[in-house]
Every structure is written in structure tokens, then in C-alpha cells.
Structure 1
Amino acid sequence: MTAPVNPLSGPPARRRAGPAALVLLALLAAPLGGCSVFGAPEELRGNRADAELLRDITPGVSSKADVTALLGSPTATSTFDGREWYYISSTTHIRPARTPGIDNQRVVIVRFDERDIVRGVEQKGEDDMRNIAMSERTTPVPGNDRSLLQALFGNIGRFGPSATTPVGPGAGPGAP
């Protein structure tokens, strides 16, 4: 038995995908890049204070040294007196071609009294957060509003003698 010269005209045979089919497949699969199947794993950011560790902190008994031993260094402290420690954490995941997505944000606030003994522990979650509207105004800076001609020709005439060139009578290159 002889093989046909043109396999497409003979009995059905397996065909290989050409470059056009591969391009079409890539275009159809591109929108799936944002799906969780192709997403990056979640990452823990900040200093997460676990609930089990927080139970070991006893208000009125535990000191700053005890809190540091249990939770580690705080993410931030209060600005003026240092009597509040903040442990800020969140879980992030990378979204393709976007900023990281943030999930499960949490802040643990540990308050101390004047003797550096824990006064209280408070947890804040996403429900306690508020969006803050940013101001669109900018502070004007003098000298930055230049026209196109000023930008092109602004340095003409600004260059004078350099600091290494002597200036004055008898200070030229041929002077004694």
C-alpha cells in the first residue's frame, strides 16, 4: 500500500498546530493570566501578632521587655511619648500588571503606662479602617513654570566668566 502524496486529501490524519493556531491560543489564554490558577502565592507582610501570643500578654503585669520577647520589635511606635506600640500586618498577592492586592489587614495596638507596664491590647481589622481622600492641590514652586522658548533658550546669556578665569584689569592671559 502506498502513502498518499497529500495527507490532507487522504484519510483523516493528525495535524500539527501551525503558528497561526498558536497565536490564537495565546490570545485566548492571555485574559486568564489574572485568574487565581496563574496567580502568585500570598505573602505575609509586616509583623503579625498571633492571637495565641496575644493571650500571653497580661495587662498590669507584662512589661515592654515581655512584649518584645513575645512579639518582637513593633512596626511603629506613637510619635510623641512611645507608650503605644503598633504591630501592622497584611497579606498581599500579586495581580498581573497591577499593584499588589491587599487582604486581611490587621493592626495590634499595645498601650503602656508610665512604668512601661502593659495597660491594654487592642486589635483593629479592615472593618475599623477608613478611606482618606487625598488632596489634589499642589504647592506652587517658583521658577518651574517655563514656556517652551524659555526652556530652549533660557541659558543664553547666563554663562559668564568661570570661577577659574581671573577677572579685572591686568588679569588676562597675557598679563604679567
Structure 2
Amino acid sequence: MEPTPPKVNAMPARALAAALCLVAAGCQYLPPLPERPRDVFSSPIIARGHLVSAEQLQQITPGVTARADVQALLGSPSQTATFSDDTWYYISSSTQLRPGRALAVSNQRVVVVAFNPNGTVSELRELGQTDGRNISFASRETPVPGNDLTLLQGLFGNIGRFNPTGSTSGQPAAPGVANQSSR
């Protein structure tokens, strides 16, 4: 009789493979090598929106610069005023990826260009992240007409309302359903 080789427990090998997969998945968070900052565990800053430089803003003079000149210099605005085209907004922000794939805004900047009725710049402002306002939503609820049934009332309220044969006594059955009382 030939001696059988000792059985090797596959559990440590599987645990090692799982640990290597977790380590490799954690490397996905790191930015690519050419962009990698000194702090390896911080993600790169992502610029979003319409970034307006200080040099571009210096070229705009209130009372002198026309609407067409602003559009040629800065491009189309990110947003215009709600009810008129007299105010343009150039919105930009810097975001950074946080663990768990959540984006966090690290810097936000809004350049507001207002025009007078003649079409020249009347006001030029810069707003930062601290100029923003928290908008609180109304906690009121609009009442909906109808029954205020609970879930259980809705479920058990239908018991006995419908005949399983498809007809009620004295009423004809739906088309295509045989009436049991006529048999």
C-alpha cells in the first residue's frame, strides 16, 4: 500500500488570496503616477466649471466694457439671471475625491457680471464659498384629499370586496368569464 500525501488545508491560501485582492482594490483610490502628489493618500484636485482668471477680470471695466466684449473675453456664462439676461454668472469649483467616492467641494467661486440697459458692464463681483447661504426647506406638507388609511387598513380593507368567481349575485360576469350561477 502506497502512503498517501498529507492533506493540505486550503483555508490559509484562500485567506491570502482574499487579502491580496483587498490590497489591490485599495490601490484603486490612488491617483495615477504622473499626477501623484507628495501625499500619496490624497486625491488630486479637480477643477469644475468656468474658471475666470484675475487677468481676465482686470480687462473688464464697469461702465466701459460691452456685453459682446465680455462674451469674447470670458465666453458664455455658466448661468444667467432667472428672469432677465442682464446678469451673468461664471461658476467654478474645486472638488476632491474623498474615501468612499464622495466628492467634497474645497473651493467655490462665482463671478457676477451685471449689465445696464445700454449693454455695458454696471457691476463686477466675486463671490466665494463663504458668501453662500444655506437654504432651509419648508417642513410643511400639502394635505392630499382622500382617505387616510394605514397600511394594514388598506390591505385588510379589500378582503371580501371582490368575488373570486368574477361576478356578484345579480350582476353579469365580465366578458370572457363564465357565470357560475347560470350553470
Scaled by the length of structure 1, the TM-score of the pair is: 0.62
Corresponding residue of 2:76: 73
Task: State the 1:91 CA deviation.
Answer: 1.2
Task: State the 1:99 CA deviation.
Answer: 3.5
CA distances 1:32-61 after superposition (whole Å, capped 9, x unpaired): 987873565332222111111111111111
Aligned counterpart in structure 2 of residue 50 of structure 1, from 48, 53, 57:
53
- In structure 1, runs of 5+ residues without a counterpart are 1-5, 7-16, 158-164, 166-176
Q: Are the structure 2 counterparts of residues 93 and 139 from structure 1 closer, same or farther at C-alpha, using a change threshold of 3 Å?
A: farther
Q: Are the structure 2 counterparts of residues 140 and 47 from structure 1 closer, same or farther at C-alpha, using a change threshold of 3 Å?
A: farther
Bigger share in helix: 2
Corresponding residue of 1:87: 90
Q: Are the structure 2 counterparts of residues 142 and 48 from structure 1 closer, same or farther at C-alpha, using a change threshold of 3 Å?
A: farther
Cα separation, 2, equivalents of 1:86 and 1:78: 8
Cα separation, 2, equivalents of 1:126 and 1:55: 21
Moved more, 132-141 or 78-87: 132-141
C-alpha contact (below 8 Å) 1:93/1:102 kept by paired residues: yes
- Find the residue that maps to 2:70 and give its secondary structure: helix
Give the AA of the match of 1:122: R
Aligned counterpart in structure 2 of residue 18 of structure 1, from 8, 13, 16:
13
**Is 1:115 paired with 2:110?**
no
Corresponding residue of 1:106: 109
* Larger relative contact order, structure 1 or 2 (CA cutoff 8 Å, min sep 6): 1
Corresponding residue of 1:139: 142
Count of matched residue pairs: 143
Q: Are the structure 2 counterparts of residues 144 and 38 from structure 1 closer, same or farther at C-alpha, using a change threshold of 3 Å?
A: farther
- In structure 2, runs of 5+ residues without a counterpart are 1-5, 7-11, 31-38, 163-174, 176-183
- Find the residue that maps to 1:69 and give its secondary structure: helix
**Is 1:127 paired with 2:130?**
yes
Cα separation, 2, equivalents of 1:101 and 1:45: 12
* Structural RMSD (CA): 3.6
Q: Are the structure 2 counterparts of residues 151 and 77 from structure 1 closer, same or farther at C-alpha, using a change threshold of 3 Å?
A: farther
- Find the residue that maps to 2:57 and give its secondary structure: helix
Moved more, 59-68 or 91-100: 91-100
C-alpha contact (below 8 Å) 1:33/1:39 kept by paired residues: no
Task: State the 1:104 CA deviation.
Answer: 0.9
- Find the residue that maps to 1:18 and give its secondary structure: helix
Aligned-pair identity (%): 44
